[in-house]
Chains A and B, each alone.
Chain A
Amino acid sequence: MAMHADNIIEMIKQAMPGAEVSIEDLAGDGDHYAAKVIYDGFKGKSRVQQHQMVYKALKGKMGGELHALALQTSAPE
């Protein structure tokens, strides 16, 4: 099972309004992505918490439908 990059971006943005999301399909197979998420709500959160927020936005698809999503998260400067 694969997911479209657009779907991933949409799900993240829906859960995190105003987030800046960029995504790269690493292998061109719709299954291995790298995403960069910049979100105001990340301020004051640990990396683990930031990644957990993104995983929650993806509603259980991570680790299932989505095998690989390398994540880089940060709050805006």
Chain B
Amino acid sequence: MTDTAHDRISTMINDNDVFLFMKGDPTFPQCGFSSVVAQVMQHLGLKFDSFNVLSDEDVREGVKAFSDWPTIPQLYVKGEFVGGCDIVKEMFQSGELQQLLDDKGIAHN
């Protein structure tokens, strides 16, 4: 991973309380897994920012090394990696995701 990709990823996840690396954007996801996570976040009424990894190969590969996680989407809360589609879905269904957001002081539905 290039230093610039690493720095850009750090900036994105630290400047936003909730940040999602995905394929496509929340309005037009270009992958089913990204779509699921975006839907969970929209359902929770979360204010979040996202980055379309299909638009930037450096970030697409960089974020996998950054979190030691081989796939996209990737959700970050307060700069911390929370998980991909399976984990986010599971945490949402069990209420753990809502608990995590409460703990971090992030407003949600």
Contact = CB atoms under 8 A, between A and B. Distances in A.
B3 interface: no
B35 to A, nearest CB: 13
A44 B68 CA distance: 19
A48 B70 contact: no
Contacts, number: 31
Contact of B70 (A60, A70, A72): A60
Interface residues of A, number: 13
Interface of A: 47-48, 51-52, 55, 60, 62-64, 68, 70-72
Interface of A is mostly: mixed
A72 B68 contact: no
11 contacts: A47-B83, A47-B87, A47-B90, A51-B69, A51-B86, A52-B69, A55-B70, A63-B64, A63-B70, A70-B86, A72-B86
A11 to B, nearest CB: 14
Interface in B66-84: 68-71, 81-84
A41 B63 CA distance: 27
Nearest to A63: B70
A64 B64 CA distance: 12
Contacts of B64: 63
A64 to B, nearest CB: 8
B71 A63 contact: yes
B86 A62 contact: no
Given A55-B70, A62-B71, A63-B64, A48 B86 contact: no
A70 B103 CA distance: 27
